[in-house]
Amino acid sequence: MSDEALREAALAYHESPRPGKIGTHVFKAAESSRDLSLAYSPGVAEPVLAIAKDPAAAYRYTNKGNLIGIVTDGSAILGLGNLGPLASKPVMEGKALLFKRFADLDCVDIEVDCADSTEFIDTVARIADSFGGINIEDVAAPQCFEIEAALRERCKVPVFHDDQHGTAICVVAGLLNALDIQGKKLSDVRVVCLGSGAAGTATLRLLQAMGAPNEHLTAVDRQGVIHADRGALPPYKAEFARKTPHRTLADALRGADVFLGVSGANLLAPELLASMAAKPVIFALANPDPEIRPEAARAVRNDVIVATGRSDFANQVNNVLCFPFIFRGALDVRARTIDDGMKVAAAHAIATLAREPVPAEILAAYPGVTSLHFGPEYILPKPMDPRLRMRVASAVARAAVESGVALLPYPADYPKV
């Protein structure tokens, strides 16, 4: 499909036969006067009084336990930049569609028009208890770090910034498999991350949580390597600044095992890839054009494994592999937060599923794909794999119960543990 044809198809999809992508579905009877007297006045007074007496009753008598608030200020819309909150609404509706389609979670999209982080935090904190969880979306770095930390502290429900942690979980899941194929261990490899925004920072943090030594992690921004001798670093960069003689991306990549790109198009030059260690792993996640295209990487060396964010290449890193199911598992045990243990559990569950045989019904969802087998061009499950929901949600729920952040026991209808 040409770019112009895609543009016209996308606009038509969003416009017709009804504008937008989501709506409200009534699932209780509303056909008789008795139905209405129960749904509204006078019957609705009974759950109101029950919730006033015990706030936890909201999970019993309302949709709170299956409802996600998707909130944004429109400051980092996909790869389009700061276009404002209203322009972000199609993306937020799209996110709601994905939550419903993959995890049967209802959503309300909230676009906040605010001047600074404090206003955003206050707005979301005041409405958060209406929901079972809060998904922060398309909020720019570095404000996103402050916002998420403050909301996690103030809100009684789990808060998750998908652009940070969803990307990190999917990258780490794919990396675990890629390293295994390459015969390497996470504890041994040198990782270079180009891009120190939300996704890059969260991925490095998750790698640390999974045992990657800090001295093996190098972050690179527009000024070069983030090192201990650079002054006036913001806290989220300073945590990865270490003593090193490396100053440029070329310095850092020489002999490195893993390149993680969350930056811009064509920034991994062929000669830099050639300087990396044997059997390198490349995550070139800039969209729509990656830091290096897979065919360009393979033209340089035949021992490389490449992942991108694009669906038209093998090994797509797609956040839909995790964020619906992270919330599904968290809400099903009424987790107060989403901690590192839950993220690690999600990454392992996704990685493990990619190693299993792929049923024919999943292949049917991908025209032209006749087989998928664990290997250099299949390190992550496909988004349409229905097994993801229970695998990831159950792993997250189990981790929440084990860490003590869950208010409910592991669900009886989940897989036995």
Read off the DSSP letter of residue 47: H
Q: Tokens 């991908």 map to which residue?
A: 366
The answer to whether 157 and 125 have CB atoms below 8 angstroms apart is: no
The answer to whether 284 and 291 have CB atoms below 8 angstroms apart is: yes
The answer to whether 265 and 290 have CB atoms below 8 angstroms apart is: yes
DSSP string, 240-289: T-B--S--SHHHHHTT-SEEEE-S-TT-S-HHHHHTSPSS-EEEE--SSS
95 is catalytic: yes
Around Cβ 86, how many Cβ atoms within 10 Å?
A: 10
Which token pair is 262? 């969350």
Which token pair is 163? 């652009």
Distance CA 332, CA 342 (A): 13
Catalytic pick from 13, 21, 28, 40?
40
* Environment class of 224 (CB within 10 Å of its CB; exposed 0-12, middle 13-18, buried 19+): middle
Q: Tokens 């930049």 map to which residue?
A: 81
* Environment class of 296 (CB within 10 Å of its CB; exposed 0-12, middle 13-18, buried 19+): middle
Question: CA 189 → CA 63, 128, 214, 218, distances in Å?
Answer: 46, 41, 11, 11
Residue 28 identity: K
Helix (H) or strand (E) holding 400: helix 387-403
Catalytic pick from 95, 184, 343, 382?
95
Q: Kindly report the backbone phi and psi dihedral angles of residue 199, in degrees, each rounded to the nearest multiple of 5, phi listed first.
A: -65, -45
The answer to whether 406 and 400 have CB atoms below 8 angstroms apart is: yes
Length in residues, the chain: 417
As annotated, the active-site residues are 40, 95
